[in-house]
Amino acid sequence: MTKNKNNQAIWGARIKSNTSSIFQKAGSSINIDKRLYREDITASIAHVEMLFRQKIISFKIKNKIVYGLNKIEKEITKKKFDFSERYEDIHLNIEKRLFQLIGDEAGYLHTARSRNDQVITDFKIWIRSATKNLIIKIDKITKSSLKLAEKNVDTIMPGFTHLKNAQAISFAHYLMAYVEIFNRDKKRFTNNFQSLDENPLGAAALTGTSFNIDRNYTSKKLGFKSPTKNSIDTVSDRDFVLDFLFSVSVCSMHISRIAEELIIWSSDGFKLINLSDKIVTGSSIMPQKKNPDLLEFIRGKSGISYGNLFAMLTILKGLPLSYFKDLQDDKEIIFKSFDNLSDCLKIFDEILKNISPNKKRMLELANSGYITATDLADYLVINYSIPFREAYEKTAKIVNLAEKKKKRLDQLTLEELRIIEPKLTKDVLKVFDLKNSIKSKNSYGGTSFVNIKKMIMNYKKQK
């Protein structure tokens, strides 16, 4: 008969004294892994159903255990469950409570499994739904970017390289770059389902089990494609944790880059975009201030995501196969990364809904910095059949002339242009028009208005 006194650890028959209280406190993970309670119960129910089908436990015992587990789930959901550090983690807390509820027959639940396979089964199921949750949030951002892009196809701004004016672009083209970025993030998260689709349950501690279990049955029940293939690898593997943390890091990095860009664009030096009062905060001393704190918050959080990825890589680097207590920290790391990114995605969506372009300023800035110089060089190549390098040189001379005369390129007269290239006619003047410049960039993926409209349509159809 299983002696499982309520105040005794599961291993009380072997280990006579209580674990030292400092370790009980520090080594317990219940305050973190209680987030896995639903997954733990689902996996346990699948496990006992399998044990019954395989005639390892009786119908009566199976029903009793399932009844108890369902009751525990309700207790936890209704916050009526007493989590105890004494029982270390969520798995043992639930098992202990099961004993209280149904008596010694609870002892059949742990037949043919170990916490080692149990914990990663729960964890994989949890990461699967966390991944789906993040994908939904990424989709929302894509939608908000598309919406803003649709309104701004005709909004002209300077495109930058090295943060110097480069060539004219549509603001919508920038926003559609975000759509590409977030689509890749979505794909990265979607690809991770592959490393999550093998079922660890049944690997037991590390050797598998002598019981005649059916791992295909539990795989199907728990939404896995197939069982894992090697029991030692199963309980040692945390690649799926790294995949998740890496994908979170890349997505955080993307939002951080965009946040940094928006901070620059909203700064007093640039003034290219306005942030509504919903997404700024004031200063405690300077009454005039409206600071982009939310954007800075997002930028900061990407550092924490990278830290979490590195923490996990470091935990794993010197760890022999198979299970070691070191691995317990994987949960805290993942939960933090998930919570962080989840918040950042929500905040970023709010930001997208609360920014507006300062069209006048965008156009003004686009008209400076000789931004149509490349258009002029292209024009020379097309109209005078000269090599691009020669056209580049002539254009550079024209830019030098404009600079000397303190004029923009479109303010130079035809006579002045002809000092450098006598063959020019007044037809050339059209290349200095920003709209013409943007229209002309109609190569696939370019900033032409027609291209952007097509891309927006394509993505809207996909939604």
Task: Give residues in contact with ligand ARG (CB under 6 A).
Answer: 29, 89, 115-116, 119, 323, 327-328
Nearest CB to ligand ARG, comparing residues 189 and 323:
323
191 vs 268: CA distance, rounded Å = 42
Nearest CB to ligand ARG, comparing residues 158 and 200:
200
463 vs 460: CA distance, rounded Å = 5
Nearest CB to ligand ARG, comparing residues 119 and 272:
119
436 vs 454: CA distance, rounded Å = 18
Given the residues 17, 162, 210, 443, the one annotated as active site:
162
Please, what is the minimum distance in Å from the beta carbon of residue 329 to ligand ARG?
8
Given the residues 20, 58, 129, 283, the one annotated as active site:
283
Nearest CB to ligand ARG, comparing residues 328 and 340:
328
DSSP calls for 188-221: HHHHGGGGG-EE-TT-TTTT--SS---HHHHHHH
Nearest CB to ligand ARG, comparing residues 116 and 395:
116
Please, what is the minimum distance in Å from the beta carbon of residue 446 to ligand ARG?
51
Q: Is 52 left (phi over 0), alpha (psi -120 to 50) or beta?
A: alpha
DSSP annotation of 392 reads: H
AA identity, residue 207 = T
| Tokens of residue 255, six digits | 């939002």
Are the C-beta atoms of 123 and 244 separated by less than 8 Å? no
Which has the closest alpha carbon to 189: 140, 126, 251, 258? 251
Alpha carbon 407 to its chain centroid, in Å, reads 47
AA identity, residue 140 = K
All residues at 6 or more sequence positions from 92 whose CB lies less than 8 Å from its CB, including other chains: 10, 115
Alpha carbon 116 to its chain centroid, in Å, reads 28
Please, what is the minimum distance in Å from the beta carbon of residue 125 to ligand ARG?
14
| Tokens of residue 105, six digits | 């027959």
165 vs 370: CA distance, rounded Å = 8
Nearest CB to ligand ARG, comparing residues 244 and 323:
323
Nearest CB to ligand ARG, comparing residues 54 and 111:
111
First to last CA, the chain: 59
Please, what is the minimum distance in Å from the beta carbon of residue 327 to ligand ARG?
5
User: Does residue 162 have an active-site annotation?
Assistant: yes
Please, what is the minimum distance in Å from the beta carbon of residue 31 to ligand ARG?
12
Q: Which residues pair with 165 in a beta bridge?
A: 160
Q: Where are the beta strands (DSSP E) in 122-163?
A: 156-161
Please, what is the minimum distance in Å from the beta carbon of residue 29 to ligand ARG?
5
Length of the chain in terms of residues written:
463
Q: Active-site residues: which are they?
A: 162, 283
